[in-house]
A = this chain, B = another copy of it.
Amino acid sequence: MTAIQDFQAHIAELSDLLCAISVLKWDARTQMPHGGAETRGYQLATLSRLAQEHFISDKTARLLDAAETAIAGEAADSYLVRGVQQTRQYYEIIGKLPLELVSEKAALEPVSEGVWAEAKKNNDFASFAPYLQQQVDLARRQADAIGYSEHPFDALVFEYEPSMTAAKLRVLFDGLKVGLLPLLRAIVAKSQPLEKNLWTREYPLERQKAFGLEIAQRFGYDLNRGRLDIAPHPFEISFTRQDVRITTRYQPNYFPMALYGTLHETGHALYEQGVDPALTRTALTIDFLGKYPVGGTSYGVHESQSRLWENQIGRSRAFWNAHFDRFQHHFPDVSADVDPEFMYRAVNRVQPSLIRVEADEVTYNLHIMLRVEIELGLMDGSIKVNDLPEIWNAKMGEYLGVTPPDDARGVLQDIHWSGGGFGSFPGYTVGNVMSAQFLDAARRDVGALDDSLAAGDYAPLLGWLTENIYRHGRAFSGSELLIRSTGADLTVEPYLNYLRAKFTDLYGLA
Contacts and interface: CB of A to CB of B under 8 A. Distances in A.
A239 B36 contact: yes
Interface in A292-339: none
Interface stretch (A58-66, A120-128, A219-227, A483-491): A219-227
Interface stretch (A25-33, A254-262, A359-367): A25-33
Contacts of A223: 33
Interface residues of A, number: 37
A24 B18 CA distance: 13
A42 B16 contact: yes
Q: Is the interface of A mostly helix, strand, loop or mixed?
A: helix
A224 B35 contact: yes
Interface in A10-54: 12-13, 16-17, 19-20, 23-24, 27, 31-36, 38-40, 42-43, 45-47, 50
B20 A242 contact: no
A57 to B, nearest CB: 13
A231 to B, nearest CB: 14
Contacts of A227: 31, 33
17 contacts: A16-B45, A16-B46, A17-B47, A19-B39, A19-B43, A20-B20, A20-B24, A33-B223, A33-B227, A33-B243, A35-B222, A35-B242, A36-B239, A36-B242, A39-B239, A39-B243, A40-B243
Interface in A203-256: 222-227, 239-240, 242-243, 245
A348 interface: no
A281 B45 CA distance: 14
Nearest to A19: B43
Given A240-B36, A242-B35, A243-B36, A16 B47 contact: yes
A133 interface: no
A24 B43 CA distance: 12
Given A34-B224, A35-B222, A39-B243, 17 more contacts: A16-B46, A19-B39, A20-B24, A20-B43, A20-B47, A23-B27, A27-B27, A33-B223, A33-B245, A36-B239, A36-B243, A39-B239, A39-B242, A39-B281, A40-B243, A42-B281, A43-B239
